[in-house]
Structure 1
Amino acid sequence: MLKHLLPAGLCCLLLGWSLPAPAQVENSELGELTLEVLVGGLEHPWGLAFLPDGQGSLISERPGRLRWLDGQGRLSAPLRGVPAVFAQGQGGLLDVALSPDFARDRLVYLSYAESDASGERAGTAVGRGRLSDDQLALEGFAVIFRQQPKLSTGIHFGSRLVFDRQGLLFITLGENGQRAAAQQLDKLQGKLVRLHADGRIPADNPFAARAGTRGEIWSYGHRNAQGAALNPWSGQLWLHEHGPRGGDEINIPLAGRNYGWPLATHGVNYSFLPIPEARGERVAGTEPPHHVWEKSPALSGMAFYSAERFPAWRHNLFIGALAGQALIRLQLDGDRVVHEERLLAERGWRIRDVRQGPDGYLYLLTDEADGKLLRLGLRQP
């Protein structure tokens, strides 16, 4: 196993990466932040999952690699057994999540862009495989879900993976750039889907028994949700999604509800022209956003802070910003967003994923050709 792992600093030297930076200090409204660059040289990292018992973490890279960062900071070679991906545009290997029963079954779930037979169109797929005992391979990888039909030429795949308290799997699905499909219940574009851990459709899904609809659907009218997390206090799933030019939003999706896209939006096309199908910011029969940004930060990744380590962060929600190049801190009062702060705004980093670590620190991935894993803390008074 050791030949597959190198200390992070030695990896950097051998592969031409820059060495991890020492801890730095930045200011925030709640006090001084401590910032460490743990690993560099990751190629457009997308998702992060922590293994139990100090075994490190798994990091996905969009070109199609899954890496193990062990508990001593050594980065593995790409794991074997990872599926081939459609690595074009926004597509590739995307999110990574552990089975709720990982201690027993060692199953790792991956979401990724998968091409059709022609190689020209793609959609989101989700599969799972057993992490080998040496953490260097996925064994018996099998697909449990495919977005159908395949309509993307390289944009809007979603695709965050979240298990709820009952062990059911939520998957966020972009509309593949096909706006009208987000309102069509016979298609899986622009939907949030809910499945059993093996891919079966729960009998109580809102459209499971309705003819002409996809039983996987939990909610619809979503544009491109690249952040989702379970609220640790209420147990409800929250997600955020990209608007077009303006109108990024947070939603708390309820069963069978329509979240509006493209009929209801606070944004316009990138050309500054109106969205052709849009009828306004609020439209009868659709749910208004729980929270909205009139100017799009381009949201990605989401983590509620519930740890004891930094009490000032408790009941805050942290979200990455790609175009906004910042970490957004939202202060919550119950479910209400009462305050916003932008952190790391001078760094110029596109924040792709945000996770609360088992040690109570925040861990961030930067979406760059020389992507980084960062650890963020708050100095105690």
Structure 2
Amino acid sequence: MKENMFYGASHLIFQKAEELRNRMTPAEELLWKHIHINEWKLKFRRQHPISNYVVDFYCHAARLVIELDGGIHEVEEVKINDQVRERNLKSLGLTVLRFKNEEVFQNKSTVLKTIKDTIATIQENKQLVIEKEKLVVIKIGGNIVDSEPVLASFLESFSKLVGGHTSPPSGDGGFKAILIHGGGKVATKIGESLGIESKYVDGRRITDAATIDLVTMVYAGLINKKVIAQLQSLGCNAIGVTGADGNLIPANKRPVKEIDYGFVGDVKSDKINAQNWSGLLEHGFIPVVAPITHDGKGQLLNTNADTIAQEVAKAMSNLYEVSLIYSFEKAGVLLDANDDATVISNIDPTSYEQLKAEGKIFAGMIPKLDNAFAALNSGVKKVVIGKAEHLNDLINGESGTSITNS
């Protein structure tokens, strides 16, 4: 369980940990660069609360503590305190490694080898506990974005779950999250005011040169920054990004076959920059993603937000235990699109094919469900589709439609 990684640390210890994260020493910053994304594919945390202490680095899967000592630790009284601290940490079943700051600066490779060898020993002794930190990837539907009151209500609920200042006091400050939005109706409305006609084929927007400028302006500008501003007002350290920022989501311009969709991007699944995503999350940011990608040659591309959510969730599943939530105005996947009482609580591959064959699932819900199954097949732990106002229940699997492989 996640709470076990804190070993009963108090609220004051959590506050101290947060303060220390904001003033890491140069040695800590250097080592952190090499262990927070690492060859061992293990999750490390910095300035982590454990019992009555804040340890410099901690890997819960390996039960491994890493401490870095500056010159003050040569003082006799501090040495005694360190010995007591280490003994208490070991009594919790933890392995403790200590290095001097000078070792990190002058013999970094030796320090990293010691860490690697220690992890190997823990693995050999079958003491490694595979436990990934939880990450929730949430896509909010267009009808939520299009209504300012509904969006405001959703963001307030979201802020309570991720640890904004409207949330109840909690030990870990909420879960990590990535929020993805669209905004097609807003783009269409603004386009009309600018004399830019929206064109669609089978419900899909044709993105010509004028339209890519329009959707970039609306998605990555107006909508994204409004969401960011509201989340910041709720105490959430949100940061707005597109796929071009930090090379987070590279894509290819969709090739012309029967239809020329224009500047539309198909995500390069194997090129999503999981390290940069993790860097944002580990520095306490909540990425809010506008559905604009890029081709690496200077061209921005309009990309389906549902697909972005699925692709990001898949990419992050190597590092985190990922839940993918598609939240919109409906209670879930419905047998009757106009009746929330007809929500289907669970859909597996067999029932999905049957529902399609019977014509009970059609149109825009099919690509959403295809994305959901693709995510599950690529390591995502859980996929739920449901009503945005029931966000907490969706995350807990107590509402909406759960998509499963069995």
TM interval, short-chain normalised: under 0.3
TM-score normalised by the chain length of structure 1: 0.26
**Of the two, which has the highest radius of gyration?**
2
TM-score normalised by the chain length of structure 2: 0.25
Question: Counting strand residues as a fraction of each chain, which structure ranks higher?
Answer: 1
Question: Counting helix residues as a fraction of each chain, which structure ranks higher?
Answer: 2
